[in-house]
Amino acid sequence: MLQAYASPLERTWFYAHRVIAGLILLFLILPILVIVPLSFNSDSFLMYPMAGASLRWYEEIIGSDVWRNALMNSLIVSPAATLLAVVLGTLASIGLVRSDFPGKALLTAILISPMVVPVVIVGVAVYLFFAPLGLAGSYTGLILAHAVLGVPFVITTVTATLQGFDYNLVRAAASLGANPVLTFFRVTLPLVAPGIVSGGLFAFATSFDEVVVTLFLASPGQATLPRQMFAGIRENISPAIAAVATILIVLSTLMLLTLEWLRQRSEKLRTGKSR
């Protein structure tokens, strides 16, 4: 905050800093805003000023078999991969947070490593490994590979949530006679659910945006939405791409808002408890 006794130089710097930060925010948000109106362009150029408004590009992608097929593929692969990543990642997170053994740090680092290994390496490795097993070009192979990429996000978010989890509640449940399974579903799960949902959202977003592994692993008929966009941008970038992009922007906004809501809710619960 600017103090009342600030010198003129400090004042100048204070406002300059705000202007600079505003420009950086503009840099961040402008590319996302700029493509939305172009999806309603009535001619086929991705340029301003627009000729007129129309919904023809939305009609085109809805009527196109290629895009519908891509959406179907994404809706098959991403939810399945997310489910796998969430189940395996949540169980492992509980084990990791509650236990203490030599090599735990190393194991955690390995479980998170798919996040940092270059995706191309994952793609090539998984392709060469899956091909002889008949898993290349199959939905199963694609789902397994996407789940691998989603796991680190589930682990980081769920372990973070569990670290703030009051284990006395589990002890209280046990002392009142609940067995571990019942305790898990009635006490632990509802409290860590926001963390699991955020981890799941991250895993879903990762899979839903994944193109490199898909490039190696998917057969031509299994092109997902990002894979189809990749091809579209490469060949001929048209307002149809802008229409798909707009739909994806709406989707990511929804995911972000859900996440923000979850975060605020859990923050409220936390502060409410400490009061």
265 binds another protein (CB under 8 A): no
Candidate residues 46, 71, 187, 197; the one interacting with another protein per rule CB under 8 A: 46
Between residues 88 and 191, which has the closer beta carbon with respect to another protein? Answer: 88
- Least distance from C-beta 10 to another protein, angstroms? 6
Would you count residue 71 as binding another protein (CB under 8 A)?
A: no
Going by C-alpha positions, the residue among 138, 142, 130, 147 that lies closest to residue 88 is 147
Instruction: Count Cα atoms within 13 angstroms, Cβ side, for 111.
Output: 22
If one asks whether residue 260 binds another protein (CB under 8 A), the answer comes out as: yes
The reply on whether position 269 binds another protein by CB under 8 A is no
Closest to another protein by CB, 76 or 255: 255
Owner of token pair 């023809």:
56
Q: Residue 153, class by beta-carbon neighbours within 10 Å (0-12 exposed, 13-18 middle, 19+ buried)?
A: buried
Q: Quick one: 144 or 191, whose CB is closer to another protein? A: 144
Query: What is the footprint of another protein within residues 168-227 (CB under 8 A)?
Result: 171, 174-175, 177, 202, 205, 208-209, 211-212, 215-216, 226
DSSP string, 118-148: -HHHHHHHHHHHHGGGT-TTSHHHHHHHHHH
How far apart are alpha carbons 61 and 240 in whole angstroms?
6
Residue with tokens 């202007």: 19
Q: Which stretch binds another protein (CB under 8 A): 57-65, 75-83, 185-193, 235-243?
A: 235-243
Q: Which of 71, 76, 83, 160 binds another protein (CB under 8 A)?
A: 160
Task: Between 218 and 226, name the residue whose CB sits nearer to another protein.
Answer: 226
What is the footprint of another protein within residues 95-134 (CB under 8 A)? 95-96, 98-99, 101, 105, 107, 109-130
Query: CA nearest 126: which of 41, 218, 59, 3?
Result: 218
Tokens of 38: 């172009």
Binding residues for another protein, total number by CB under 8 A: 97
> DSSP of 189-201, one letter per residue?
HHHHHHHHHHHHH
- Select 187 or 255, whichever has its Cβ closest to another protein: 255
Distance CA 108, CA 155 (A): 9
Q: In whole angstroms, how close is the CB of 169 to another protein at the nearest point?
A: 12
